[in-house]
Amino acid sequence: MKTILIDGLGLIGGSIALAIRKKWPDDRIVAVDVSPAVLEHAKRSGIIDEGSLQLNAVAADADVIVLSAPVGIIIDHIKTLAELSLKPEVIVTDVGSTKQEIVKHAQKLTEKKVIFIGGHPMAGWHKTTISAARADLFQSAYYFLIDDTLIDERHKAAARALQGLLSELDVKWLTVSASRHDRIVAQISHLPHILASGLVNMSQNEFQSSPLSLKLAAGGFKSITRIASSDPTMWTDILLSNRETLIDKINRFHQYLERVRQALAASDRESIRTFFEKAKVTRDNLNEQTGAHAPNFYDLFLDLPDRIGSLARVTRILENAKINLVNIHILEIREDVAGVLQLSFSNQEDRLLAKRELNRHGLPTIRGDQ
């Protein structure tokens, strides 16, 4: 029996705890969190065996330590662990959304012969806290392991052990360097969060002065700003931990905006059209370009009539055809009007099969439906 310590029992830590519990029921799961309510709830519902408000009270017993608090706390707790006496073969890992700064601080653990493996499950959700945790949160998603921390055979063996421990997550493992990781996520995750929140903040005045505009906020606005509902503490930590890369990305985004501004000032129809055309081609091709790398892109959209049983009908058709639905999301629901249902599949084959079945049952798929 191993003791697994989850430090930060929120969406990610809680989902990892649930997955370990499911696959390895004999392992002992201990959690550290600042919230006594979270620990009590998790203990009562059997997700963990024991909770503690203090990392240093429970770290010495752990065989595996998963650091899953916000990035700033992960760094503080790496420093704490470096001062403690831990089991000689303990594996310390983290799930933080940035990697260079964390890996730099983890050097202190390596100097003390403590194994540290940097990690980042590249999926999640804008809703945080353990109440949103699920054992299958990361199903078919990518999980980065950080090359810089796989420094020798002992560390590589530890990484394999970690992959075994987390096998229930059903992720695809990817090894990248910390710097490459931070560049990638700056572009595809961190910058989009800044833009979404900027757009919402900019719209706030309009919403206040004209409440009608709030009611009219269209599907496009809602889709692009969904992630502005993410946790502010978590995202403050992420931005500060990926500062330089993000400053560069913001400067580059300025250039894109400036080009559109200039084209508008000159009424340059061709440039504006090219701007949208380029984006459309790239976005439409995301499925094909990314292939299995982006399971979330195997989506279908269909109108969902505002009638009792509409949703059940869709899921029944898919169930009867034995098509595995990864995610379901209602994008717009307005009284008496059709909502838009987003159905996500894990591969193109399932997506096309679902499209055929739904169409056959008189449910036409729409938008983004190449």
Residues that bind ligand NAI (CB under 6 A): 7-13, 32-35, 38, 68-71, 73-74, 95-97, 120-121, 124-125, 128-129, 231, 234, 238
Helix (H, G, I), strand (E, B) or coil at 223: helix
Q: Identify the CA nearest to 246 among candidates 174, 330, 185.
A: 185
DSSP string, 60-112: GG-SEEEE-S-HHHHHHHHHHHHHS---TT-EEEE--S--HHHHHHHHHHHHT
| Closest distance to ligand NAI from the beta carbon of 229 (Å) | 11
- Whichever of 51 and 165 has its CB closer to ligand NAI, that residue is 51
| Closest distance to ligand NAI from the beta carbon of 278 (Å) | 29
**Does 97 contact ligand ENO by CB under 6 A?**
yes
- Whichever of 110 and 327 has its CB closer to ligand ENO, that residue is 327
Sheet holding 365-366, edge to edge: 325-332, 339-345, 299-304, 365-366
**Does 93 contact ligand ENO by CB under 6 A?**
no
User: Which stretch, 57-65, 103-111, 120-128, 330-338, contacts ligand ENO (CB under 6 A)?
Assistant: 120-128
User: Which stretch, 62-70, 117-125, 275-283, 314-322, contacts ligand ENO (CB under 6 A)?
Assistant: 117-125
Site string for ligand ENO, 175-214 (x = CB under 6 A): --------------x-------------------------
Q: Which residue has the tokens 């055979």?
A: 153
**Binding site partner of 189, from ligand ENO, ligand NAI, none, Cβ cut-off 5-8 A by kind:** ligand ENO
- Whichever of 137 and 314 has its CB closer to ligand NAI, that residue is 137
CA–CA gap between residue 218 and residue 58 (Å, rounded): 49
Q: Are 242 and 120 in contact (CB under 8 A)?
A: no
**Binding site partner of 35, from ligand NAI, ligand ENO, none, Cβ cut-off 5-8 A by kind:** ligand NAI
Q: Where are the alpha helices (DSSP H) in 191-327?
A: 191-209, 211-216, 219-225, 232-241, 243-265, 269-284, 286-290, 310-320
What are 251's two structure tokens? 């400067």
**Binding site partner of 70, from ligand NAI, ligand ENO, none, Cβ cut-off 5-8 A by kind:** ligand NAI
Q: How many residues does the chain have?
A: 370
**Does 124 contact ligand ENO by CB under 6 A?**
yes
What residue number has its CB nearest to ligand ENO?
97
